[in-house]
């Protein structure tokens, strides 16, 4: 039997058809910075600016600013990454900063470093475990000289002092001095020789009229012109899971997930769910962007089960296609599990894999479905009934594919008059109805059963032929090889019964071969 290994790596990239945007695949190379080296600030001279506006790139929810497509600086932290790293910009204009961390998350800041300059703290752990790309832009376009400073949290890092500039015409603020006081007039002596009553006296002339000084006209003072300041960006009360952002994406159907699909997941987050009033009865820390975005279809009649497995304490949050939130923490010990009816999952479904408290590690997330329709148990195997529908191709089945079900039934096959020669108990409804295509390119279809009880396999092909096997796979397990592959294009019904009528969990494996 051939064995295959499959890995999935999700990458979040923002772009539009007509506008160039900050791109993750355009870095000109990354600089290695040791964590010990970052105990003192490392400064990089660059030019702030760019032509791409965030709102045109699907990143408008982060803030406002214009950036280049190519990162202005990329770096990798080597050594211990258990400490936060601070990025701060000093510039001659209103600069902004956009960062994509090693875990694929976007971060933005405008004015946290003072003097309209940005500052960001990159959290320790997964955010620093790989390449970090940095764009230094401007709030309203244009360019200016800037310096990017990188250091450990707690290390001294330049902070731009506020610039206070005198408004134009400041010299006109000095008021005109008041006019100098006029000196008081001196008394005037009378002419000598005047007489009064025979007595010579000195006459006293009439006092002159007082001189009233006229004030000078005031000097006009220029009114200072206000310095324009950008409108402040409203900040949310808390950063919460954002369904407007897209995580690594998968397209799946209910039938495909009858075979469980497992993916690597980074567990942990920066933001507390308890601070998000729109998500009731949830706790732990998650990131703003989803860990996974699933586009699901054909989910009616299925129950979706989602499990997380890890060495730390994860939490699991889901937003279904109707916008309803689902949360779980510890269903399986410290590991979460969610089970949701497939009727609410046709469309986009987002998952966040977070951590309880500061828990952070690498784990896995598994998606699987099971039929919610109870089988029709009474009567003989009936090809007019349909089992769990699965659409697949010969090429897809060249990779062995497992399907999970329950073996057993209540009807003894010997009493049904079918053109097969064996015994066993079956239900009337098939366990699966496979809709196959592209089968003519292969030599045979192999169907194997495996279970803890003695299972029997019954198959009806699109040309109406019946096939049955009991123990050809060894250990009381069945196996069928169907060679007329051209006649397998269409509906193939599969019943999984048991020899004694006992029910047990079972797995069937489908695989195409060239020989």
Structural domains of the chain, ranges and CATH numbers in brackets: 31-152 (2.60.120.380), 249-371 (2.60.120.380), 388-513 (2.60.120.380)
Contact 108, 75 (CB under 8 A): no
How many whole angstroms separate alpha carbon 391 and alpha carbon 306? 22
> Among 125-139, 190-204, 219-233, which is the least confidently predicted range?
190-204
Contact 447, 458 (CB under 8 A): no
How many whole angstroms separate alpha carbon 151 and alpha carbon 40? 6
Torsion of CA 35, 36, 37, 42, to 10 degrees: 60
**Distance, CA of 202 to chain centre:** 109
Relative to beta strand 388-393, strand 432-437 is: parallel
DSSP classification of residue 114:
B
For the segment 258-278, the average pLDDT, to the nearest whole number, is: 90
Residue 102, pLDDT > 70, answer yes
DSSP 306-367: EEEE-SS-EEEEEE-TTS-EEEES-SBTTB-EEEEEGGG-SEEEEEEEEESTT--EEEEEEE
| Residues near 212 by beta carbon (within 8 Å), at least 6 away in sequence | none
- Alpha-carbon distances of 501 from 368, 404, 412, 498, rounded to whole Å: 27, 18, 8, 5
Where helices occur in 95-247 by DSSP H, the ranges are none
How many whole angstroms separate alpha carbon 129 and alpha carbon 212? 86
How many whole angstroms separate alpha carbon 266 and alpha carbon 123? 14
| Residues near 378 by beta carbon (within 8 Å), at least 6 away in sequence | 410, 411, 428
Residue with tokens 């970090």: 132
pLDDT of residue 164: 38
pLDDT of residue 423: 84
Token pair of 464 as six digits: 């109406």
How many whole angstroms separate alpha carbon 454 and alpha carbon 375? 20
pLDDT 10s digits, 42-67: 999 999 999 888 877 877 778 888 99
How many whole angstroms separate alpha carbon 109 and alpha carbon 121? 10
Q: What is the mean pLDDT of the chain?
A: 84
pLDDT 10s digits, 352-392: 999 998 778 989 999 999 887 666 667 899 999 999 888 89
pLDDT class of 112 with cuts at 50, 70, 90:
confident
Residue 83, pLDDT > 80, answer yes
pLDDT of residue 463: 93
Contact 466, 420 (CB under 8 A): yes
pLDDT of residue 28: 79
Residue 17, pLDDT > 70, answer no
pLDDT of residue 223: 65
Token pair of 360 as six digits: 């952070």
pLDDT of residue 171: 38
For the segment 342-353, the average pLDDT, to the nearest whole number, is: 93
If one compares 162 and 75, the residue with the highest pLDDT of the two is: 75
pLDDT 10s digits, 156-199: 888 766 553 433 333 333 344 445 555 555 554 455 555 545 55
pLDDT of residue 172: 36
> Among 109-113, 182-186, 318-322, 347-351, which is the least confidently predicted range?
182-186
Contact 292, 365 (CB under 8 A): yes
HSE-up (13 A, CA, CB side) for residue 8: 17
SS3 content of the chain, % helix, strand, coil (to 5): 5, 40, 55
Enumerate the β-bridge partners of residue 119.
88
pLDDT of residue 235: 52
- Alpha-carbon distances of 73 from 36, 46, 69, 99, 140, rounded to whole Å: 20, 9, 12, 10, 21
For the segment 486-510, the average pLDDT, to the nearest whole number, is: 94
Contact 314, 333 (CB under 8 A): no
- Alpha-carbon distances of 95 from 229, 232, 257, 356, rounded to whole Å: 13, 14, 48, 36
């Amino acid at each position: 039997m051939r064995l295959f290994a499959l890995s999935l790596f999700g990458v979040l990239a923002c772009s539009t058809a007509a506008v160039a945007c900050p791109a993750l695949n355009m870095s000109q190379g990354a600089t290695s910075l040791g964590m010990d080296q970052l105990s003192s600030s490392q400064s990089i001279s660059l030019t702030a600016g760019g032509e791409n506006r965030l709102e045109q790139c699907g990143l408008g929810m982060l803030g406002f600013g214009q950036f280049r497509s190519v990162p202005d600086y990329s770096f990798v932290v080597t050594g211990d990454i258990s400490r936060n790293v601070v990025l701060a910009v000093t510039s001659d204009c209103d600069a902004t900063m956009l960062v994509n961390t090693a875990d694929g998350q976007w971060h933005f800041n405008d004015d946290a470093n003072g003097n309209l300059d940005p500052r960001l703290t990159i959290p320790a752990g997964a955010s620093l475990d790989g390449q970090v790309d940095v764009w230094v832009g401007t709030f309203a376009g244009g360019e200016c000289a800037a310096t990017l400073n990188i250091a450990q949290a707690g290390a001294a890092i330049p902070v731009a002092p506020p610039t206070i500039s005198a408004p134009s015409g400041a010299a006109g603020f000095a008021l005109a001095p008041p006019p100098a006081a006029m000196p008081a007039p001196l008394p005037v002596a009378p002419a000598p020789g005047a007489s009064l009553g025979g007595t010579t006296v000195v006459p006293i002339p009439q006092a002159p009229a007082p001189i009233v000084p006229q004030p000078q006209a005031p000097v006009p003072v220029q009114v200072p012109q206000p310095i324009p300041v950008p409108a402040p960006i409203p900040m949310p009360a808390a950063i919460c899971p954002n369904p407007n952002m897209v995580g690594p994406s998968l397209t799946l159907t209910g039938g495909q997930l009858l075979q469980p699909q497992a993916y690597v997941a980074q567990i942990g987050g920066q933001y507390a769910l308890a601070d998000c009033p729109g998500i009731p009865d949830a706790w732990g820390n998650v990131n703003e962007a989803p860990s996974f975005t699933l586009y699901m279809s054909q989910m009616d009649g299925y129950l979706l089960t989602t499990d997380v497995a890890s060495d730390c304490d994860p939490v699991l949050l889901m937003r279904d296609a109707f916008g309803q939130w689902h949360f779980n923490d510890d269903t399986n010990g410290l590991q979460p599990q969610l089970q949701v009816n497939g009727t609410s999952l046709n469309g986009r479904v987002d998952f966040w894999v977070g951590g309880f408290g500061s828990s952070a590690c690498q784990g896995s997330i598994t998606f699987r479905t099971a039929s919610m329709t109870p089988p029709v148990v009474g009567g003989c195997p009936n090809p007019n009934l349909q089992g769990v529908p699965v659409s697949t191709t010969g090429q897809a089945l060249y990779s062995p594919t497992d399907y999970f079900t329950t073996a057993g039934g209540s009807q003894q096959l010997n009493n049904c008059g079918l053109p097969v020669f064996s015994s066993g108990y079956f239900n009337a409804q098939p366990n699966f109805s496979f809709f196959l295509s592209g089968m003519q390119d292969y030599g045979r279809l192999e169907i194997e059963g495996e279970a803890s009880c003695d299972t029997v396999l019954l198959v009806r092909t699109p040309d109406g032929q019946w096939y049955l096997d009991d123990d050809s796979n060894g250990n009381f397990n069945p196996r069928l090889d169907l060679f007329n592959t051209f006649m397998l294009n269409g509906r193939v019904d599969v019943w999984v019964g048991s020899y004694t009528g006992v029910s047990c969990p079972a797995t069937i494996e489908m695989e195409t071969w060239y020989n």
